[in-house]
Amino acid sequence: MKNFNRSYLKIILLFRWMVFFYLLTETFSKVQKENFLNFPQDIFLLSIGIYYLGLTLLSYFEERKVFFIVFIILDFVIASLFFLNRVIIPISTPPYTFCLLFSLPILQAGFLNFKLSSIIALISFLLFILLKETFRFFGIIKEPSVFFSSQFFYLISFFLLCYLFVYLFEMLKKQNEQTKALLSVIESGQELGTTNDIDKLIDLIINMLKSLFNSQSTVIYLKEEVERENILKIKGISTPQKQLFNDFNPEAVPGILKMIFKKKNSCFYEDFQSSSEEDFLPKSKFLRSIMAAPLIFEDKVLGLILLAHNQVKRYNGESLKLLTMLANQISLAIQNIQLHHATVTLAITDSLSGMYTHGYFQEHLEKEFIKHKYANQHLSLLIIDVDFFKTVNDTYGHPQGDSLLKQLGGLIKSIIPREDLICRYGGDEFTITMLNTNRISAVLMAERLRQAVEEYEFVLGSKIVHITISGGAASFPEDAQIKKELIENADRALYESKHKGRNRISFIA
């Protein structure tokens, strides 16, 4: 788009150079004929020529809107003054020069906005007619001169050509934007499929949206079930005003985000602050333009995308179409990662207890041991075993024994910190890998777990059963220097607990 705008500017600059060189040539040809500057005609021409030279050079180096607006006003004023001078003090000016002067503000306005260019063209044409009739009325011109009869036709023709040129530029600009948008969607789809890490994917999405929409605030919400409620949690955010955005329950809050979640439709506000509706989002000066789209996969809302800017009218219908297309691509990428994680979790999770498998325990412990050894941190391992589990199976049957292990797994999860890893080691044995935990802390946590199990009432059919567990703990670096040694010492400590009468926690002294 920048190159496209540059091409348009070069056309405007070409028109400016044409005016400048004509005025310069006209002035110096008179000087050569008359050997002096004729006041005020020649000075007038020369000063206008110098003005256009300066404006041309400034146009080449500056593309800010404020300069374009100044250029439009100055071009319009100069064209009007040139017209007045031409009528009052006759100057032999070819028709195309006069047309070029009036076409410059039209073309310059077309760079900013097609409607603005149309208004400038209409004003220019009406001004020409008004001035002509005014001069006739006050007797400044007696009869329609060659100036009016010939240039009137040229002026109308040139206005129409400029109008057509600006219109074509607007159409090409829109087509270029649409092509760019489609390419962005295709490229985004390819990029989004390059990772299976949800955090990396969210970072990629944030950067992509910021680049495409130049948004000051970009927020990605993903749906999570918390205590049987659907909560939209912020998973990715890029904004200098993070305090304006929070997790929320779409069922419990009013406003735009609830509407999008419920109706599954994208929408935008040109000026959100002027909206009189009650909304979960604050009416802040940083949230003037807002655009949001749902992340939908197979008619199920996975989350939301929210873009915001502190300026009004930053987003329009075309922006919304592009965001909606990107949201479809993003939804597919998120769903693929969630399915991938679900498959991986299923492969490493014990179906009976809901704990991780023995294989995952070995893999995880290997990684954590290396990490803690390198960081010079403590790492502890606890192995627990259900006392007299065979008696439970023989008395209540294997299905009830499986039920007991499932209930035990849930109890362990409720006590052990979330960052620690719980695995089913085999049979009725469980392992707990305690990160950044020394031997004393590990034994205290194990003792707390032992007491909780002893007091818990397990339901086996119509019976209430009490059980106990035995455990063995080992820690790095106190009890082991390698992973194998850590497992062996924890296992030895477990059998020491069994040997000493069960329902206890031991460690290798």
pLDDT band at 387 (very low <50, low <70, confident <90, very high): very high
> What pLDDT, on a 0 to 100 scale, did the predictor assign at position 4?
52
- Bridge partners, 17 (sequence order): none
> What pLDDT, on a 0 to 100 scale, did the predictor assign at position 155?
59
pLDDT digit string (tens) for 471-499? 999 999 989 999 999 999 999 999 999 99
> What pLDDT, on a 0 to 100 scale, did the predictor assign at position 146?
42
pLDDT digit string (tens) for 265-301? 888 888 887 777 767 787 778 888 889 999 998 888 8
- Sketch out the chain's domains with CATH numbers: 2-176 (no CATH), 198-346 (3.30.450.40), 358-507 (3.30.70.270)
Looking up tokens 């999405």 gives: 205
> What pLDDT, on a 0 to 100 scale, did the predictor assign at position 247?
86
Strand 505-507 and strand 469-476: the pairing is parallel
> What pLDDT, on a 0 to 100 scale, did the predictor assign at position 6?
58
| Run of H or E including 308 | strand 300-309
pLDDT digit string (tens) for 32-86? 555 544 545 555 555 555 555 555 555 555 555 566 666 666 666 666 666 555 5
From CA 292, how far away is CA 296, in angstroms rounded? 13
pLDDT digit string (tens) for 101-160? 666 666 655 555 555 555 655 666 566 666 666 666 666 555 455 445 555 555 566 666
Instruction: Decide: residue 408, CB within 10 A, 0-12 exposed, 13-18 middle, 19+ buried.
Output: buried
pLDDT digit string (tens) for 210-230? 878 888 899 999 988 777 788
**What's the order of all strands across the beta sheet hosting 217-226?**
229-238, 217-226, 300-309, 289-297, 267-269
Instruction: Report the predicted TM-score, pTM, of the whole model to 2 decimal places.
Output: 0.56
Q: What are phi and psi of 424, to 5 degrees?
A: -90, 115
From CA 509, how far away is CA 503, in angstroms rounded? 19
- Quickly count: other Cβ atoms within 10 Å of residue 306's Cβ: 24
